[in-house]
Structure 1
Amino acid sequence: MTTFLAVILTTLLSVTAMLALIRLYRGPSLIDRVVAADMLLATLVAAVGAEAAVHRHATTLPVLVAISMLGFVGSVSLVRFAVREGGGEA
């Protein structure tokens, strides 16, 4: 059962990451790319969290916090940049 669950989880996270990478590459706007990068980071957090849950250890918690903070700060700074460049439009 655990192996089956791991295969399903890996497949779903891989498909999610692939779709986010496609949107990151194709765009077409900066906001689309920001959302795709945010989704890719969220998928990475989910994968690391799932690995920690399956192996029952909490040593990756600082990594999860660091990746989450990186995603938040990056998204906020890119949106602020886009608003300044776009003439005040969100």
Structure 2
Amino acid sequence: MLETVAWIVLMMLSVAIVLCFIRMIKGPSMFDRIVALDLLGITMIGFVGMIMIIQNTLVYVEVVLVLGILAFVGTIALSKYMEGGVVIDRDSD
């Protein structure tokens, strides 16, 4: 029963990844694309987590951590850049 539900959730996450990718390409504004990229990263974390549940292993824990860090840092950097600020603030005192 759990395996069937896990496969159904995996298919739903696959559809969500495709829809996020379409929104990331087609988005009306750059801010919508940034949000879609962040949502794509979060959905990929869920996808890898479901694969871990189906395979009954902890091998991909590092992959989940790296995806989370990259999604967070990428969203912050792109948002700061689009806001018009400097991504890395360097003081030249």
Task: Tell me, yes or no, whether TM beats 0.5.
Answer: yes
Instruction: Choose 1 or 2 for highest CA Rg.
Output: 2
What is the identity percentage for the equivalent residue pairs of Structure 1 and Structure 2? Answer: 32
Which residue does the alignment assign to 1:30?
A: 30
Distance in 1 of aligned mates of 2:61 and 2:11: 23
Counterpart code for 1:4: T
Which residue does the alignment assign to 1:10?
A: 10
Q: Which moved more, 1:49-58 or 1:36-45?
A: 49-58
Which residue does the alignment assign to 1:43?
A: 43
Counterpart code for 2:28: P
- Structure with bigger helix share is 1
Counterpart code for 2:24: L
Regions of 4+ moved over 4 Å: none
Query: Which one has more relative contact order, counting CA pairs under 8 Å at least 6 apart?
Result: 2
Q: Is the 8 A contact 2:14 2:47 kept in 1?
A: no
Q: Which runs of 5+ in 2 are unaligned?
A: 86-93
Tell me the alpha carbon deviations over residues 7-37 of structure 1, each in whole angstroms, 9 at most, x when there is no partner.
3112211121121011111111111000111
Which residue does the alignment assign to 2:61?
A: 61
Q: Which runs of 5+ in 1 are unaligned?
A: 86-90
The CA RMSD measured in Å over matched residues stands at 1.5
